[in-house]
Amino acid sequence: MQRVEADKIVREMLVYLNNRQLTHLKEVLNRFTEASFVENSPKDNESLLERYFAAKRAEGCSEKSLNYYQATLIKALDTIDKNATEIMTDDLRNYLTNYQESHGSSKVTIDNIRRIMSSFFNWLEDEDYIIKSPVRRIHKVKVATTVKETYSDEELEKLRDNCTQIRDLAMIDFLASTGMRVGELVLLNREDIDFQERECIVFGKGNKERIAYFDARAKLHLQRYLDSRDDSEPALFVSLNKNRTRLTIGGVESRLKTLGQKVGIERVYPHKFRRTLATTAIDKGMPIEQLQQLLGHKRIDTTLHYAMVKQQNVKIAHRKYIG
């Protein structure tokens, strides 16, 4: 028997056998072929996960994402109680169904778990630990599209007008004009800001570097804020207490929530500024590829999720192009 014939037999049996059975089939066929298959010896789940996460780190995944992946995969593997190389599609389907019922999870959460499982089992397949990923036949969970919240011009002005601290005003203008992530904001130092060019270098997800830009209003308020400080802390934004320590993500979120409650605006949070900028940019005609670069998105699909097109502009465009 030739190697090609053995491969054909394995492919034909993909739909009938699980990974453990396919591996055994390959071993049997291997005895009758002139060439031997390149085979990875079976590993326990702990070893497989260790190798998987080493590979993801090499790809530049953040520790925050890896921790989320790890918690999700360990919980799934412990619940299913099988070696990952022996898990079948039905095992995963049952796990997702039971998880949703017991936790009351949303479709988004369940699809996130499915997506993480797909990443892990695809890696096992690519590395020849299994013949085929059991997640192949588990399709993406359909989630209803919802209109994401953005700030209106009036809401932004209300927030600005009611700031009693120059720091808060500078922070709001900076978030609104750069559209950067709050995690990127709190990592910025004073020396990162180029006031002449109105730009700064930020490190986004996966420690990817990009340039963010801010407008004239943000520049003026930021300069005023920095001129008012008498501390030596290098951070761009610091706390209001005597210690003047670097502002944290939680500190930004808490402050914005307080400012929103003060002026009667519900759900004031950092990411809403990012979505507002994306929507405004699209509304004013910015090419989606440029917006993708501005926001630091790896995939353009992510950018499209952020940007909503106003219905009135759709109407105007219809009259312009259709008649």
Q: Is 323 within the bounds of a domain?
A: no
For position 61, what pLDDT does the model report?
81
Return the percentage of the chain with pLDDT > 90, whole number: 56
In Å, how far are 66, 128, 132 from 38, measured between CA atoms?
Answer: 29, 8, 15
Lowest mean pLDDT among 36-45, 47-56, 164-173, 212-221: 36-45
Q: Is 242 within the bounds of a domain?
A: yes
For position 319, what pLDDT does the model report?
72
pLDDT band at 38 (very low <50, low <70, confident <90, very high): very low
Of 110, 144, 178, the last residue of a domain is 144
249-273 tens-digit pLDDT: 999 999 999 999 999 998 999 999 9
Residues 189 and 50 in one domain: no
For position 37, what pLDDT does the model report?
43
Residues 164 and 254 in one domain: yes
pLDDT band at 300 (very low <50, low <70, confident <90, very high): confident
Residues 129 and 66 in one domain: yes
Residues 174 and 54 in one domain: no
Residues 158 and 289 in one domain: yes
Burial of 162 (0-12, 13-18, 19+ CB in 10 A): middle
Of 98, 115, 144, the last residue of a domain is 144
Decide if pLDDT at 310 tops 80.
Answer: no
Long-range contacts of 148-156 (CB under 8 A, 24+ apart): 148/275, 148/305, 148/306, 148/308, 149/267, 149/272, 149/275, 150/272, 150/275, 150/276, 150/279, 150/308, 151/176, 151/272, 151/273, 151/276, 155/265, 156/276
Q: Is 205 within the bounds of a domain?
A: yes
71-115 tens-digit pLDDT: 999 999 999 999 999 899 999 999 999 999 999 988 889 999 999
Residues 72 and 189 in one domain: no
Residues 33 and 4 in one domain: yes
Return the percentage of the chain with pLDDT > 70, whole number: 85
Q: Is 121 within the bounds of a domain?
A: yes
Residues 236 and 118 in one domain: no
For position 130, what pLDDT does the model report?
87
What is the distance between the alpha carbons of residues 215 and 192, in angstroms, rounded to a whole number?
16
Which CATH number does the domain housing residue 303 bear?
1.10.443.10
Q: Is 4 within the bounds of a domain?
A: yes
Residues 263 and 292 in one domain: yes
pLDDT band at 42 (very low <50, low <70, confident <90, very high): low
Full domain range(s) for residue 14 = 1-39
Residues 31 and 51 in one domain: no
- The number of folded domains in the chain is 3
119-150 tens-digit pLDDT: 999 999 998 888 889 999 898 888 766 667 88
Residues 180 and 301 in one domain: yes
Q: Is 276 within the bounds of a domain?
A: yes
Residues 302 and 178 in one domain: yes
Q: Is 278 within the bounds of a domain?
A: yes
172-228 tens-digit pLDDT: 999 999 999 999 999 999 999 999 999 999 987 766 789 999 999 999 999 999 999
Say which residues have a Cβ less than 8 Å from residue 146's Cβ, sequence separation at least 6.
Answer: none
Of 144, 163, 197, the last residue of a domain is 144
Which CATH number does the domain housing residue 137 bear?
1.10.150.130
